[in-house]
Amino acid sequence: MRSSTFLLFSIVGIYGAVLNAAAWSVNNFLMTGPKAYLTYSSSVAAGAQSGMEECKFQFGWERWNCPESALQLSTHNRLRSATRETSFVHAISSAGVMYTLTRNCSMGDFESCSCDDSRNGRVGGRGWVWGGCSDNVEFGERISKLFVDALETGHDTRALINLHNNEVGRLAVKSTMKRACKCHGVSGSCSIQTCWLQLADFREIGNYLKMKYDQAHKLEMDKRRMRAGNSADSRGATAEAFHHVHSTELVFLEDSPDYCTRNASLGHHGTEGRECLQAGKNLSQWERRSCRRLCTECGLKVEERRTEVVSSCNCKFHWCCTVRCEQCRQLVAKHFCARRDATVANHTKRRNKGHRR
Ligand SMILES: *[C@@H]1O[C@H](CO)[C@@H](O)[C@H](O)[C@H]1NC(C)=O
Ligand SMILES: *[C@@H]1O[C@H](CO)[C@@H](O)[C@H](O)[C@H]1NC(C)=O
Ligand SMILES: *[C@@H]1O[C@H](CO)[C@@H](O)[C@H](O)[C@H]1NC(C)=O
Ligand SMILES: *[C@@H]1O[C@H](CO)[C@@H](O)[C@H](O)[C@H]1NC(C)=O
């Protein structure tokens, strides 16, 4: 299992799946891959993908909006950085992989695992006993660790940070689990309940990790010891820095770059051309401020573009049995960040660089 082929395949698998889902196929490895790899690889890929989709949702109205280039799960990538944003990418990806494997297991997709019924029959609390099918997170944790953590082949500080953030993601899956119960007793009196633990919605895990992202901890390294070049010394400095980090806390090493501006070498598109939301009725405060955050504070202007949207309306039911509708045309205003005139741009002050609002 721990052969180098296994490792290589997991890298290709996760990268391929997320960057180009269609092009990647398990069949490519049917002749060579170890059996265990083949059993789980499609689930691992699906899990990494769902992690990235959740990342895009959580960062939809942020300057950094989780571009594909953010997926640098492997230390093989020389461009890898260890910013607040990459800490989130690691956590949500590893959470996605664990989540999907666990779900698969409960659905009976794998012969090698089934529900966690280890506590069934025991009293769990007042008026309830363990019973039913608890999601087998231990299984999901074990297999996801094997795939995702195996991508970290280095032994430097960055590798340690990535491994730590992977673990934060897996802990998030566990700590958001919920108890679900079923009533028993005479005619539904519910005098006794059986309960089991189940995974939360993945959205909830995304929300939880987004909060952890906001509170992420910058690792302050002893630069003198790091620079000494002595690997034992720098390992010592790393261990010391980690000493103060809680296991549920995301960790990063470098300050975020200015995500307002395009930076091709970092793979950032900048916020020019991005859509933002203005003055909708039901927007959260976070969404309502998106034009300011993405455009104005990045030295761009907000440009309104009207587009015509055609939809069905005034539908009437005719006896019997058709529904006839009219086609209504509606002008919808959308807002985008656009470059200002050069003269105006001179007076623009860049405020709030980096990721903060
Ligand atoms: C596990 O679940 C994912 C997502 O629901 C699915 O794409 C994948 O095919 C499943 N794996 C197996 C082995 O059934
Ligand atoms: C892109 O980012 C790198 C690293 O932060 C920086 O050195 C470089 O100046 C940036 N390039 C542009 C065009 O901003
Ligand atoms: C507006 O938001 C509230 C609370 O979030 C929700 O109950 C309501 O359905 C929303 N209304 C519309 C029109 O989306
Ligand atoms: C405004 O910008 C232009 C071009 O970028 C520059 O030549 C000019 O000196 C600037 N003016 C001021 C007042 O900064």
pLDDT tens-digit profile of 214-264? Answer: 999 999 877 666 666 566 777 777 778 888 889 999 999 999 999 999 988
Best residue for ligand 1 mutational test, from 18, 103, 109 (most atoms within 8 Å of Cβ):
109
Q: Is the same domain home to 216 and 309?
A: no
The Cα–Cα gap between 163 and 152 comes to 7
Q: Is the pLDDT of residue 14 over 70?
A: no
Pairing of strands 128-130, 192-198: parallel
Report pLDDT for 17: 42
Domain of 290, CATH number, reads 3.30.2460.20
Q: How far is the CA of 344 from the centre of ligand 4 (A)?
A: 9
Q: Is the same domain home to 229 and 341?
A: no
The Cα–Cα gap between 112 and 1 comes to 15
Best residue for ligand 2 mutational test, from 265, 268, 272, 350 (most atoms within 8 Å of Cβ):
265
Q: Is the same domain home to 164 and 281?
A: no
- Please write the tens of the pLDDT for every residue from 32-48: 346 667 788 889 989 99
Q: Is the same domain home to 103 and 211?
A: yes
Average pLDDT over residues 161-167: 94
Q: How far is the CA of 104 from the centre of ligand 2 (A)?
A: 43
- Please write the tens of the pLDDT for every residue from 40-91: 888 998 999 999 999 999 999 999 999 877 665 544 455 468 899 999 999 9
DSSP alpha helix (H) spans, the chain: 4-19, 35-58, 84-106, 137-148, 157-175, 202-214, 223-227, 231-242, 285-288, 290-294, 342-345
Q: How far is the CA of 265 from the centre of ligand 2 (A)?
A: 7
Return mean pLDDT, the chain.
82
- Please write the tens of the pLDDT for every residue from 196-223: 999 999 999 999 999 999 999 999 877 6
Nearby residues of 116 by Cβ (< 8 Å), 6 or more positions away: 133, 134, 135, 136, 137, 138, 139, 197
Smallest CA separation from ligand 1 atom 11, residue: 43
The residue range of the domain holding 84 is 4-112+137-174+202-252
pTM here?
Answer: 0.79
Smallest CA separation from ligand 4 atom 4, residue: 342
Q: How confident is the model at residue 355 (pLDDT cuts 50, 70, 90)?
A: low
Smallest CA separation from ligand 4 atom 1, residue: 346
Query: What domain count does the chain have?
Result: 2
State if residue 354 touches ligand 2 by the CB under 6 angstroms criterion: no
Q: Is the same domain home to 67 and 215?
A: yes
Q: Is the same domain home to 45 and 83?
A: yes
For residue 259, how many other CB atoms are within 10 A of its CB? 24
Q: Is the same domain home to 144 and 58?
A: yes
Q: How far is the CA of 295 from the centre of ligand 4 (A)?
A: 21
Inside any domain, residue 185: no
Best residue for ligand 4 mutational test, from 346, 347, 349 (most atoms within 8 Å of Cβ):
346
Report pLDDT for 226: 65
Inside any domain, residue 182: no
Inside any domain, residue 297: yes
